[in-house]
Structure 1
Amino acid sequence: MVLGRLVHYTVDAVLLSTVVAGIRRSSGFEPHTDLITEPTVRSITEKFLGVGETIFDVAQATAVNSSYFKKR
């Protein structure tokens, strides 16, 4: 039960990070992590956002190489 919740929250966090990466890519707006004064929290936040960037890159590469997607 606890493991299931942990997996669920982890997947939710990765999805949130990926959405933020998509917003960053499409609009240019990104979270202002310099406002976080605690260096440890800032580092964790930047790594969290980096995971979303990686997932977004993989999803984009998959879409580009897939026959199920076409460019408008």
Structure 2
Amino acid sequence: MTFIGKAIHIGVDLALATTCLAGIKRNTGLSFKLDAVENETAREYTKKYLNMGDSMYDYAVATCGSSKYFERK
């Protein structure tokens, strides 16, 4: 696999992981403890990464909610 292929694969895996963390946050109230990240720059990028997951989760829920293949119970 080429470098570009591996980079895309890792990027998709990271996107799925952050979306999963957003789902856990929404359904259970458990969230990642940002205070555990000691470096200020790493904390800032971690916050951006987790916010991206929240946005992706919101988009997925909105898309499924407007689809004829899903129903609310």
TM-score range, shorter chain: over 0.9
- Deviations along 1:16-67, one digit per CA (max 9) or x if unpaired, are 0000000000000000002212100001111111111111000000011111
How many residues matched?
Answer: 72
The corresponding residue for 1:8 is 9
The corresponding residue for 1:66 is 67
Among the aligned pairs, what percent are the same residue? 35
List structure 1 runs of 4+ shifted beyond 6 angstroms: none
Structure 1: gaps (5+ residues): none
CA distance in 2, matches of 1:66, 1:34: 39
CA distance in 2, matches of 1:35, 1:3: 32
